[in-house]
Each structure stands twice: as C-alpha cells, then as structure tokens.
Amino acid sequence: MQFEKVEMTIPKEVKEFYDFLYTCDEEVRIIGTYLIERYQKRLSFHVHLIANRTFFFETIQAVCDHFHIDFKRLRLSTYSCEFLYKGYCFELYFIEQPEEEVYLQDIRLNEIVYYQNETVASKECLQDLNDKMIRTGIVKEPLDTLIRLFDYQQRFSFKLDRDSIHSFMEQFNEKSYTANYVKEYVQKNTSNELAQTMISQMKLDNSDSQVKFTLTKENPNALFYLKQHHYRIHRNVFDALYNKNDFFEKEAVYTFSEMPGMKKIRSLQEEIKKEFRKNKVKLLFHFPKETPGWMNESDNLLFLSHVLPQIMKKAKKETKELKTMVQTIQHLNKTIELVSGAMLEIPSTMKIKITTNVVLNYSINPDDYLNNEYVMFDFENKWSLTLHKPTNKISKSSNISEEIQSILQDVMDELLEGEKQNEL
C-alpha cells in the first residue's frame, strides 16, 4: 500500500492531548473518521486513537493524573477508554500492533492516520474521498462493518460501491444472521436514528429468516486465507487475492515411455554405487584382496543383485568402520523396494488436470500466488500435488506415499518444461 502526506491542521486541544499521550507511548496514533472530517474541513469533536496494549493501565493513569480528569468510560473487555477534555471526546483503543492497524481497516476511508505531527492516507483512501464512495477492506466482524457502512452513508453522504464490497457481503452471508438477531444488534449498538434507518432499509423484522445479500461474485478461497491469518493481512494484499482471476487451466494426457518409476530406481541404484565407491579406502583396509575386484565389477549390470549382497554380508561384521556405509545402502535398498511397489499403482497412461487456481493455505506466499508460481496437478482424480515453481518443492499434497509423489514429481517437471512457452 502506498501512502501520501495530507496537509491538515490539528486543533491545539487535540494536539495537546495527543502530544502528552505520545510521551507515555510512542506508538499512539489518531486514526479514522476524525481525520476524514478534518480533511473535509468539517467540525468534529470525537477523536479515535490507538495505542499499545502493553501500557494500557499506565497510560490511562498518566492521563488522569496529568489533566486532572477521570475517564468517562472504561471497557476492559475491549481494552478501550474514553476521556472528555476541553469539549472533545477522546476514545482510546489499546491494541497489540498499532503500527499495523491502518493496513487492516474494514473500510478504506479509514486508511488515514496522524502520527508524529504528520497525517498520511493511502492512495485508495484519497481516491474514495474524491469519488465520494465507500469501499470495504479487511472485514473482521460483518455486523460492525454493516453499521459503519450505513453510518458513513449518512454522515458523509457517500455512496456504496457494490462492486468493491463482495468480500464483505460474502462474509456476512456466511454468518447466516437472522433478521431478529440483526435488528436487536443494531438497536443495541447504534443510535436510535441510525438503527431505525437500517431496520427500515433492510426490512428487518422479528423473524428467524436469514438476512442475505445477493452476490454477483464469490471467492471463498481468499476468505479462507484471510481467516487463517486471523484477519491480519494488509488490505491491498487481500484485494489482490480476492480479485485474482487470471488463472491457467489445462488438461493433458501423459504416457510413460517406460514403466513408471524406473527413472527413480536407476537414480537410487547410482546412489548405492556412489556410496560403495566412496568407502573404497575402508574396504581396502578390511578386504585388501577382494576390493580391487569389487571395484572393477561395480559397473557390471549384475553388480547390485549378485555382488553387492555378498559384500554387505562381509561388511556387516566390520560394524565400526563400515557401519555408516551399510546403513546407507540398506536404506537405499529399502527405498527401491517401496518404489517398486508404487510402480504397480501408477497407470502407464494418465489424465492430468493442471491449474494455477490452488487452495490458499497458510503457507502460500501471496506474491507467488498472484504471479501464478503455484501449480496444482490432479492425476486421474486420485492424487493431487501442488508445486512451487521457484523452489521446485511440493507445497501441498493429498494423502499419497513419498514414493508415488517422487515418481509423479518427475512427470510434473517434464510437463512444466513443455509448457514454458505458454508461460505457465
């Protein structure tokens, strides 16, 4: 998100209160509607501030002592407090990361902040102010956002941009609120005037029927990612994820040129030979007569099946010096057995679906996702693998064995190489 400096005059009473708070907590900021109204050159006497939760009690006590006032209201459940000072209502919210809050607003108009004698706003906030439009951002509690949407329409005479609030409506619908519940909630949490406006416009009654918005676009994938991150991803990142639609999709038929897994088995066999040759000096020390012959035989096609088993029997007796070699070769042989079993499960010809429209799980890097760097391969509707192209690593797989996965990854690499011209 890009922020621009905004020229704005802060009244001396507000600056006096803020400057003292800053001496208590250098992370304190003014944020949201007060600054919007100042930007519009309107009078406003309700100031929202955010501060570090670590200094919750100390800051409140310091304000009371310094200004010789008591707090108007203290809510321990929400870590918030209100003060009346020189005609202004200062509402403080104590949160864990004040510096992040401007990126996590549920309405883009609130992406404006006063900090260290300077006011800055996101480009999107300034765009919405100039367009006189209300657009949503990171929605955590849909009902609270709904109230703000109606409040801002009345307060600023702005319009809702319905094309930009799909994510809010989708989250609202997911909650399955009843008309009776929404009606009671707005009556309890808003002014009587605003509550009546909402009840009238939304036609809320006392029934158990679900209040639902009509959607023209849904993206549960992006909402799932947002929830996994506990609603703490920057609004511009979420917008990009939610609105992404340039996915690659293709179906292919792949035929193995040889029995599936043979390439992997040859690779494992070469590793066994390398491990054997790597221990030549130790073998010569323990078996000076036999080792030269073994080395000559190591390139023979029958070496692994006939010669190596005899060597292993002898080497097992020399447990100290040759223990590592024996264990390594035993492990590689076991892997060959498992791959041989996996080979029988994989058909020689497979139908494969390829797409960059992957599940947005917690480990996904959003920039790589937006750049189509994750590719999902679905094999015969039986196995599914998601490949991260920059690292060539499997980031997500269905319930399949490591051996089958290793064979299929070779197929994926081959298909990707063939699709480079298509910019997959």
Pair (126, 202) in one structural domain: no
Write down the pLDDT at residue 83.
Answer: 95
Domain boundary among 303, 318, 343: 343
pLDDT tens string 321-369: 888 899 999 999 999 999 888 888 899 999 999 999 998 988 899 999 9
Write down the pLDDT at residue 422.
Answer: 54
More confidently predicted of 256 and 122: 122
Write down the pLDDT at residue 162.
Answer: 84
pLDDT tens string 24-37: 999 999 999 999 99
Instruction: Fill in the amino acid letter for 155.
Output: R
Contacts of the segment 297-300: beta carbons below 8 A, 24+ positions apart: 298/273, 299/273
Instruction: Fill in the amino acid letter for 218.
Output: E
Sheet holding 374-379, edge to edge: 249-255, 349-355, 374-379, 383-388, 393-397
- The domain spanning residue 109 has which CATH number? 3.30.460.10
Pair (172, 241) in one structural domain: yes
Structure tokens at 103: 């990126």
At 420, the pLDDT band (50, 70, 90 cuts) reads low
Decide if pLDDT at 234 tops 70: yes
Structure tokens at 61: 């006590």
Domain boundary among 130, 163, 195: 130
Pair (338, 370) in one structural domain: no
- Average pLDDT of the chain to the nearest whole number: 91
Q: Are 346 and 338 in contact (CB under 8 A)?
A: no
Pair (339, 390) in one structural domain: no
Pair (299, 397) in one structural domain: no
Q: What is the pTM of this model?
A: 0.79
Pairing of strands 88-95, 46-52: parallel
- What is the span of the domain harbouring residue 282? 262-343
Over residues 78-92, the mean pLDDT reads 94
% of the chain exceeding 90 in pLDDT? 68
Structure tokens at 309: 């088993």
Write down the pLDDT at residue 307.
Answer: 86
Write down the pLDDT at residue 423.
Answer: 53
Rounded CA separation 244/414 (Å) = 27
For residue 299, the tally of other CB atoms under 10 A from its CB is 8
Pair (143, 235) in one structural domain: yes
Pair (48, 149) in one structural domain: no
Q: Of 423, 301, 400, which is closest to residue 342 (Cα–Cα)? A: 400
Pair (120, 41) in one structural domain: yes
Pair (369, 412) in one structural domain: yes
Over residues 3-30, the mean pLDDT reads 96
Rounded CA separation 346/25 (Å) = 63
Query: DSSP characters for 21-85?
Result: HHHH-TT-EEESHHHHHHHTT----EEEEEEEGGGHHHHHHHHHHHHT---SEEETTTTEEEEEE
Write down the pLDDT at residue 317.
Answer: 76
Q: Of 405, 415, 108, 88, which is closest to residue 264 (Cα–Cα)? A: 405
Q: Are 225 and 364 in contact (CB under 8 A)?
A: yes
Pair (235, 253) in one structural domain: no
Domain boundary among 111, 130, 149: 130
How is the chain split among helix, strand and coil, in percent rounded to 5? 50, 20, 30
What are the distances in angstroms from CA 53 to CA 59, 65, 81, 207, 379?
Answer: 9, 19, 12, 40, 50
What are the distances in angstroms from CA 412 to CA 180, 259, 405?
Answer: 53, 16, 10
Q: Of 233, 283, 181, 247, which is closest to residue 424 (Cα–Cα)? A: 247
Structurally, the chain folds into a number of domains equal to 4
Pair (181, 268) in one structural domain: no
Instruction: Fill in the amino acid letter for 250.
Output: K
For residue 249, the tally of other CB atoms under 10 A from its CB is 10
Q: Of 178, 186, 171, which is closest to residue 140 (Cα–Cα)? A: 171
% of the chain exceeding 70 in pLDDT? 98
pLDDT tens string 201-227: 999 999 999 999 998 889 999 999 999
At 403, the pLDDT band (50, 70, 90 cuts) reads confident
Rounded CA separation 114/122 (Å) = 12
Pair (253, 380) in one structural domain: yes
Query: DSSP characters for 299-358?
Result: TSTTIIIIIHHHHHHHHHHSHHHHHHHHHHHHHHHHHHHHHHHHHTTS-SEEEEEEES--
Write down the pLDDT at residue 302.
Answer: 83
